[in-house]
Copies of this chain bind each other. A is one copy, B any other.
Amino acid sequence: MTAPKVRSPRKPKGQGAERREEILDAALKLFSAKGLHTVSTRQIAEAVGISQPALYAYFATKDDITAELCIRAFSILVERMEAARADFTPTAECFEKALRVYVDFGLENPDAYRVAFMVEKGLDGTYKERVGDRPMMAGIGAFQRFAEIVGEVRDAGLTHDDDVQRITQTLWAGLHGLVSLLIARADFPWVEREVLIACHISLLRRGALKGVA
């Protein structure tokens, strides 16, 4: 009565990669539904329809699964950032639109965002040893695209500061703060979300760009 234990049929010989996709799909769904730490490898395996050790034929550790999910999500952010840059003109409106891209991405991919920027890595560096810098490098890739956009507004002479790295890091931190808090503290008595986002972005724009009160 308790465990039907539906097993997914064995994959044909060359098709192990397909199972890998199934695992990533199941993991993403479970993470989205229950959060990262509360989902066990056994739950993932059951959702896929295989035994728990079978996961380890495709991923060395559990963290590798989350890392992979995160890397994929960030490739999306990179795309969006590149799209934002493609039709970018150094104006305040367009600048705000670019900031908005980051916020929207974070709120649409909360779990990837968590893995990339909010997950505890362990101060001893164990996490880094296991999965490497790959998820973070993916994040930095997006960061660089963002820096390019900031570079354009600086070259147009619109910024208060003229050190692109410095402005970019500051703006990134500012955006991350909002995104991470909205994700991690959804039950906080926030002002209406859309209003808050708009307010936050225009504050960052005022802080970074000259003129245009």
User: B-contacting residues of A (Cβ < 8 Å)?
Assistant: 32-38, 114, 117-124, 126, 128, 136, 140, 160-161, 163, 165-167, 169-178, 180-181, 184-185, 187-188, 190-191, 195-196, 199-200, 202-208, 210, 213
Contacts and interface: CB of A to CB of B under 8 A. Distances in A.
B195 A203 contact: no
Contacts of A126: 38
A117 B181 contact: yes
A103 B113 CA distance: 23
Contacts of A181: 117, 172-173, 176
User: Closest 3 CB pairs between A and B?
Assistant: A177-B177, A207-B207, A203-B207
- The secondary structure that dominates the A interface is helix
Please state the number of chain copies in the assembly. 2
A200 B173 contact: yes
Given A180-B180, A204-B174, A122 B34 contact: yes
A23 B44 CA distance: 36
Contact of A185 (B136, B160, B184): B136
Given A160-B206, A165-B191, A196-B169, A121 B184 contact: yes
A99 to B, nearest CB: 12
Given A176-B177, A177-B175, A203 B120 contact: no
Contacts of A177: 172-178, 180
A171 B129 CA distance: 35
A117 to B, nearest CB: 7
A36 B167 CA distance: 31
Contacts of A37: 37, 120, 122
Given A177-B174, A196-B169, A208-B203, A35 B124 contact: yes
A120 B184 contact: yes
A52 B34 CA distance: 29
